[in-house]
């Protein structure tokens, strides 16, 4: 199932969704998964390593690649990695991470922050 799409990719020369670099990361993933499935600690370490070695733009591409290849486990893995990376970060960090800007009216954002002040406690320093 997974390999059908891969073959299709290689046959499709004008494919912009996946580059060779991505293919080398995404495709070996199932083997890696099988080896370290039992051990959560190792999985976390692998996740950390991935985050360090892979630039965020690459992460988007990895997610797009996994999605295109219909490779659910890899997609879950990358989305989970991103979620874990951002979950304790500040609003500004997340904006920068996704390349977003605040589109709230001047007073609106402040009002929201005040309303949910408790959710800002214990957040990582930027």
Partner 1 sequence: MERLRASNLAVELLENILVRLPVKSVIRFKCVEKSWSSLFENPSFIAKHHRHSCSITNPSYLIMSQDDSGGDIIIMSLLHPPHNDIDDTQVHIVDMNIRFDTNLISMRFLRPNICACINGIFCIGGSFSGGFDGFFLWNPAIRQYKVVPYPTLHYPPALHFFNTDHNFAFGYDYNSNDYKLVRIVNYGRDYNTFVHVYTLSTDSWRQKINTAIDLSNIAFLSTFDEKYLNGVYYILKDTDKHGRVFNCAVILSFHMTNEVFRILSLPEFRSVPHQIKTFAVFNECLAFIFYNKRRTTMEANLEIWVMRESGVQESWTKQLVVGPLLGIRNPLGFAKNGELLLLVCDDDQTIALYNIGSQEIKILQFRDFPNAFNTSEAISYVESLVSFKGDNVVQY
In the complex, which residues of this chain contact partner 1 (CB under 8 A)? 55-57, 59-60, 63-64, 67, 75, 79-80, 82-83, 86-88, 91, 94-104, 109, 112-113, 115-116, 118-120, 123
Judged by beta carbon, residue 11 or residue 107, the one nearer partner 1 is 107
Kindly state the smallest distance separating residue 58's Cβ from partner 1, in Å. 9
Q: At what angle do helices 29-36 and 72-86 cross, to 10 degrees?
A: 70
The token pair that represents 124 in the structure block = 């990582």
Residue 110 CB, shortest distance to partner 1, in Å, is 9
Instruction: Check residue 35 and report its DSSP letter.
Output: H
SS3 49: helix
Main-chain dihedrals φ then ψ at residue 6, nearest 5 degrees? -65, -45
Closest approach of partner 1 to the CB of residue 59, in Å: 6
């Amino acid at each position: 199932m997974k390999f059908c799409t891969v073959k299709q990719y290689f046959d499709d020369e004008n494919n912009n969704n996946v580059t060779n670099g991505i293919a080398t990361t995404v495709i070996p993933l199932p083997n890696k998964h099988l080896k370290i499935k039992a051990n959560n600690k190792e999985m976390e370490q692998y996740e950390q390593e991935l985050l360090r070695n892979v630039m965020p733009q690459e992460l988007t591409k990895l997610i797009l690649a996994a999605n295109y290849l219909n490779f659910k486990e890899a997609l879950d893995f990358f989305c989970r990695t991103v979620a874990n990376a951002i979950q304790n970060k500040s609003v500004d960090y997340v904006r920068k991470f996704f390349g977003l800007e605040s589109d709230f009216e001047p007073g609106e954002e402040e009002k929201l922050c005040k309303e949910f002040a408790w959710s800002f406690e214990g957040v990582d320093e930027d």
